[in-house]
Structure 1
Amino acid sequence: MTNKLMPDELTPDTLSENAKLSPILPVPSLNKIATHPLREKLYNELHNRPFQSIASPAQLTHLAIHHQGKLRQKEHQFISLLCNRFQVNSPAESMPCFYQDFGLFSLRWERHLEYSTYTFIHQAPLTEQPFIKNAIDYVPSDWFEQMPGQVIAAVHLVVESKNIDKGTTHKVEPFFDNMSLIASAPVHSQAKVWSSFKLHDDGFGRFLIYQQDLSAAQLGRLVQQLLQLDTYRLMATLGLPMAQEINSELNQLDLQLQQVTTYIALGTDKSDRELLTDVSKIAAKVEDYRSQSTYRFSATNAYYDVALQRMDELKEEEIPGYMTMQEFLMRRITPAVKTCQTASNHLEDISRRVTRASDLLRTRVDMVLQEQNQTLLKSMNHRAHVQMRLQQTVEGLSVAAISYYGMQLFETMLTSLPSLGVKYNHELVSGFSVPIIIGIVFVGTRLIHKRLMKDVT
């Protein structure tokens, strides 16, 4: 009988001895198991577009270029042109994100569904006041001017190391052309951020960050959250002009549809055909507006949700005397998004009402058609009855005609009997044969008529 050792009795010698005695099991491997073709891609998706580590001090210029999902090849050629100029490796055409150091500046490029972002980073102390010389000034201007697409967001961002004591007052208004500022202390008051959320004379917006103890990774996350927030809040309001335009048109369509439904309910001089034409025109306009706006309004809701998420991630605290970015943006973005949602809901409501009005008119038209069909069937039945009476009359005349021809044939047969030696009274036989022939013809036609009617039924 083998003695079992308790755990506290195990020693290195006994462990090695047991390892020698126990069989070595093969390590499980996935090489022989079928894996999903998208598994690796889904794993890598979590690591796409990582936060950029940024050391303080630094200056950044961020651009969001709207391309509506196009210009992929032009963007790749544009970035490759810069890489070739500085003799660095170009990105693959399928890459959604690219980062490269070009010496005086670095470029971080990301391609999204309908826009791309270019972030130029210059990590060095300021030689002048903030926003006098920015990261974009180190980029070749002749290359920059060939950028494909349309600028939707453009912002300069400056990072400086300062004391972040809440009681410290920073006179930053001159850096923003003395515009009214929005400010907060994000990352649990480990930094201070100022912005006017307005365009300055150079066409760019501005962000100024003072930080004290943030690491390069923390600062990179803060910068990316701010830049994304600025981009997403613009993309979320991109559908506002369309919503305002559609709303005015929908009000007119609403009145037209209301008139049509009133005509249907009360009855007017307008025919159903005219009403159907009016409803069809309204339905065509509604579908046209839906095709133009459905994607834009859906994208507005998606960008709005992401903007709200970025606001929460900032973990802002209030700076006395300033509105926080979340408070300011919520007061501005939310009404714009609600306007888009109202236009979308109004559009869907009119579409449903147009469908109901069309159904009502089709029901009325179907009822009219059924009445016309019933009248037509009655007329056809009357005509069939008259035709049958005429047919019966014709049948009676046909009996007389057939009987007449039958008598002629019978007379011909009788005239040939004397030659055969048959003696008979011609007038008597002819007279008695008339009713017999007529009866035979009548019975024969009736039998044929019954057989034909039986085959029809």
Structure 2
Amino acid sequence: MLNELISNELISNELSESTLLPLSSLSKIAIHPLREKLYNELHNRPFQSIASPAQLTHIAIQHQGKLKQQEHEFISLLCNRFQVSSPAESMPCFYQDFGLFSLRWERHLEYSTYTFIHQAPLTDQPFIKNAIDYVPSNWFDKMPGQVIAAVHLVIESEDIDKAITHKVEQFFDNMSLIASAPVNSQAKVWSSFKLHEDGFGRFLIYQQDLSTAQLGRLVQQLLQLDTYRLMATLGLPLAQEINSELNQLDIQLQQVTTYIALGTDKTDRELLTQVSKIAAKVEDYRSQSTYRFSATNAYYDVALQRMDELKEEEIPGYMTLQEFLMRRITPAVKTCQTAANHLEDISRRVTRASDLLRTRVDMVLQEQNQILLKSMNHRVHVQMRLQQTVEGLSVAAISYYGMQLFETMLTSLPTLGIKYNHELVSGFAVPIVIVCVFVGTRLVHKRLMKGLQ
């Protein structure tokens, strides 16, 4: 019993020592090459802490996965101008304080975002002077890419209940507003989701008692939501264009299947040519739209997630951001999904029509092959009859020459002292020579046929 207790204690000590590995022991174990990158991915693009009051300008530039070198040179130009360190070329996210403004830059798969932050009280009414006004204009004009989203955002710290009575419509050029109370009513957000005279959209936030981290998270959610809802609807014009073309292809394909089912004066070659043209157009549309429609679904899913994260509550008299965006974005996304499904449906039907035509062509080819085989069999039969005729003539010819040789041999016998009746011997030799020649030719014929088999 004592020995068992001692052994159990030793085992438990060994296990405890083995579980408490020193940090240096990891250096002796093979480390996955992506381990550190995967750890850092969780902390990539963190929420920016923002103090109130503040003004922000957010611009999303579409680069379609290109312009990486140009973007790095563009940002480095600003950093060199203010004599600050430039970001590494491989960095996907960059933040730098330039004094009157801060810049937060993020590069995504097909677009990049530039967020300019000016943290100071307003000197005038909202949206009169914005964060981008503190950025050197001659640098901003050299921004590479195409603008897909641009919005001004103003943050003010005021009594939430008092802020409701403000005439915020005047800050949005008296446009219809959408508003809600996110973060469990600790803030109030207004927007028109329309472009104003300066080409920017607008967000106005009144907040109370939000920490800098909460406010930064709210701002990022709103800016991302505005960007993602535009990227999600980017495939709508393409879907509308493709839908009209797909309707025409649908009619053409229906005509082809009707021709196949009922049979017309059109040849299979003409039908195959028409189906091939439809298939080529379908593949062309698929190459144009597959990525765009897949991206639309992805952006839509992220936009829905951002809406849920806002935790909105309704402000009487206004639609919430989620209600407004869902009514506008969802039909656009459904249109893209319908176009993608229609495209796949036509592609499958084209494949089936091609299979049916190939089956018809194969049947025609089989019938032609059967006719050809019958013709070949007839020719072989005729050839065999001709060969038998030739063989009969060849037996007669060989027998004739054989008798000539035999006659020559007989003429030499008297010189040897042999007497015989020439006519009698010659007469009896004729059938013997013919039989020998016939048997010989048949043996040769059978040997050759056996070799062919």
Task: Give the match's secondary structure for 1:438.
Answer: helix
Q: Tell me the secondary structure at the aligned position of residue 40 of structure 1.
A: helix
Q: Residues 344 and 70 (structure 1 numbering): CA distance in 2 closer, same or farther, change over 3 Å? A: same
- Equivalent position of 1:427 in the other structure: 423
Q: Distance in 1 between matches of 2:21 and 2:315?
A: 62
Aligned partner of 1:246 in structure 2 is 242
| C-alpha distance in structure 2 between counterparts of 1:98 and 1:150, whole Å | 20
Q: Distance in 2 between matches of 1:111 and 1:79?
A: 12
* Aligned match of 2:256: 260
User: What letter corresponds to residue 22 of structure 2 in structure 1?
Assistant: V
Where does 1:122-201 land on structure 2 (aligned, <5 Å)?
122-165=118-161, 168-201=164-197
Deviations 1:226-280 (A, max 9, x none): 0000000000000000000000000000000000000111111001111111111
Residue type of the alignment partner of 2:197: D
Paired letter, 1:239: G
TM-score normalized by structure 2? 0.95
One-letter amino acid matched to 1:300: T
SS at match of 1:92: coil
Q: Which secondary structure does the structure 2 equivalent of 1:322 belong to?
A: coil
* Amino acid in the other structure paired with 2:377: N
Cα distance per residue 1:164-212 (max 9 Å; x no partner): 1288412111110010000000000000000000000000000000001
Corresponding residue of 1:45: 41
- Superposed CA offset, 1:48-73 (max 9, x none): 00000000010000000001000000
Please name the residue that 2:22 is paired with. 27
Other structure's SS at 2:28 match:
coil
Displacement, 1:409? 1.4
Residue by residue, what CA displacement relative to the aligned partner does 1:264-319 show, whole Å, maximum 9, x if unpaired? 11111001111111111100000000000000000000000000000000000000
What is the rounded CA distance, in whole Å, between the counterparts of 1:285 and 1:168 in structure 2? 55
Instruction: Give the distance between the partners of 1:448 and 1:176, measured in 2 at CA.
Output: 109
Task: State the SS of the aligned residue for 2:64.
Answer: coil
Name the residue aligned to 1:235.
231
Note if contact 1:166-1:319 (Cα within 8 Å) is conserved in structure 2: no
Secondary structure of the 1:31 match is helix
Aligned to 1:447: 443
Instruction: Say whether 1:355 aligns with 2:355.
Output: no
Deviation at 1:410, TM superposition (A): 1.3
What secondary structure does 2:26 align onto? Answer: coil
Supply the distance in 2 between the matched residues of 1:191 and 1:425 (Cα, whole angstroms). 144
SS in structure 2 of the partner of residue 385 of structure 1 = helix
1:308/1:223 Cα in 2 relative to 1: closer, same or farther (>3 Å)? same
Letter in 2 for 1:98: F
Between the aligned partners of 1:238 and 1:277, the Cα distance in structure 2 is: 35
> Is 2:311 the counterpart of 1:315?
yes
Gaps of 5+ in 1: 3-18
Name the amino acid aligned to 2:396: A
- Give the C-alpha shift of residue 26 in structure 1: 6.2
Q: Does 1:57 align with 2:53?
A: yes
Supply the AA of the counterpart residue of 2:109.
L
Q: Is the 8 A contact 2:163 2:206 kept in 1?
A: no
**Structure 2 equivalent of residue 215 of structure 1:** 211
Partner of 2:370 in structure 1? 374
Q: Name the CA distance, whole Å, in 1 between partners of 2:298 and 2:212.
A: 30
SS at match of 1:148: coil
* 3-state secondary structure, aligned to 1:237: helix
Q: Which moved more, 1:410-419 or 1:346-355?
A: 410-419
**Amino acid of the structure 1 residue aligned with 2:26:** L
Checking the alignment, whether the CA contact within 8 Å between 2:101 and 2:118 is kept in structure 1 is yes
Please give the alpha-carbon distance, in whole angstroms, between the structure 1 residues aligned to 2:416 and 2:90. 115
Task: Say whether 1:87 aligns with 2:83.
Answer: yes
Give SS of 1:109's match: strand
Q: Establish whether residue 401 from structure 1 lines up as the match of residue 393 from structure 2.
A: no
Local SS of the residue matching 1:258: helix
How many residues get paired? 439
Instruction: State percent identity of aligned pairs.
Output: 90
User: Can you list the C-alpha shifts for 1:314-340, whole angstroms capped at 9, x where unaligned?
Assistant: 000000110000000000000000000
- Structure-2 change in CA distance of 1:114 and 1:267 (3 Å): same
Aligned residue for 1:5? none
CA contact (8 A) 1:63 1:119 kept: yes
- Correspondence for 2:284: 288
SS in 1 for 2:334: helix
Listed as ranges, the gaps of 5+ residues in structure 2 are 3-12
Shift of 1:408: 1.4
8 Å CA contact retained: 2:183, 2:311 = yes
| Further displaced range: 208-217 or 31-40 | 31-40
Q: Secondary structure at the match of 1:99?
A: strand
Cα drift, residue 420 of structure 1: 2.2
Call closer, same or farther: CA 1:26–1:196 in 2, change over 3 Å: closer
Equivalent residue number for residue 8 of structure 2: none
Q: Aligned-pair RMSD on alpha carbons? A: 1.7
Equivalent position to 2:336, from 332, 337, 340: 340
Counterpart in the other structure of 1:7: none
The one-character-per-residue Cα deviations of 1:386-414 (angstroms, maximum 9, x if unpaired) are: 11011000000000111111111111222
Q: Distance in 1 between matches of 2:163 and 2:354?
A: 68
Take 1:265 and 1:23, find their aligned partners in 2: how far apart are those partners? 79
Matched residues in 2 for 1:253 and 1:23: separation? 72
What is the SS of the residue equivalent to 2:195?
coil
Change beyond 3 A, Cα 1:454–1:352: same
Counterpart of 1:215, as a letter, is S
Q: Matches of 1:168 and 1:100 in 2, distance apart? A: 35
Instruction: Give the distance between the partners of 1:167 and 1:138, measured in 2 at CA.
Output: 27
Partner of 1:270: 266
State the distance in 2 between where 1:62 and 1:333 align: 21
Pairing 1:418–2:438 present: no
